[in-house]
Amino acid sequence: MRETYEFLIDGEGFHLVVDDGAVQPRAGRARDAALILSMSAGTLLDLLSGALAPLDALGGGRVEVQGPAAALERCVAIVAGPQPGSAPSPA
C-alpha cells in the first residue's frame, strides 16, 4: 500500500510517503496526501517525547486533522511505532 501523510508545523510542511512498509520523509507540501495534520512545533515535540498522547492532542484541539479516520490510525501506527506491551504484528 502507498499512502502520503502531510504535516504542517507552524505553517511549514513536510510529508511522509509510505510504500509497502518503507517510510520516506520528504520536505515541502504533498500533492496527494491522504491525511494532513496541522500543529505547533511545541505540540510536535510533546508528541515525539511522549509527554502528550496522540488522542489527548486530538481531543484537546492541539492537532487539526484533515482526512479519514482510517488514514489517521495508519499514520499514528507508523509514526508512533509499536506501543509497550503490544504484540508484534504478523509478517
Asked if residue 85 belongs to a domain, the reply is no
Asked if residue 90 belongs to a domain, the reply is no
Count CA atoms within 13 Å of residue 79 on its CB side: 22
Q: What is the mean pLDDT of residues 56-63?
A: 93
Q: What is the mean pLDDT of residues 66-76?
A: 90
List the CATH number of the domain containing 56.
3.30.1050.10
* CB neighbour burial string for 10-45, b if at least 16 within 10 angstroms, e if fewer: eeebebbbbeeeeeeeeeeebeebbbbbbbeeebbe
pLDDT in tens, 1-51: 899 999 999 999 999 999 988 999 999 999 999 999 999 999 989 988 889
Grid cell 500533492 is found at: 31
Q: By C-alpha distance, which of 78, 66, 67, 80 is closest to 20? A: 78
Asked if residue 88 belongs to a domain, the reply is no
- Please state the domain count of the chain: 1
The letter for the amino acid at 29 is R
Asked if residue 86 belongs to a domain, the reply is no
Asked if residue 7 belongs to a domain, the reply is yes
**Structural domain boundaries, residue 43:** 2-80
pLDDT for 55: 84
Asked if residue 87 belongs to a domain, the reply is no
pTM of the shown model: 0.80
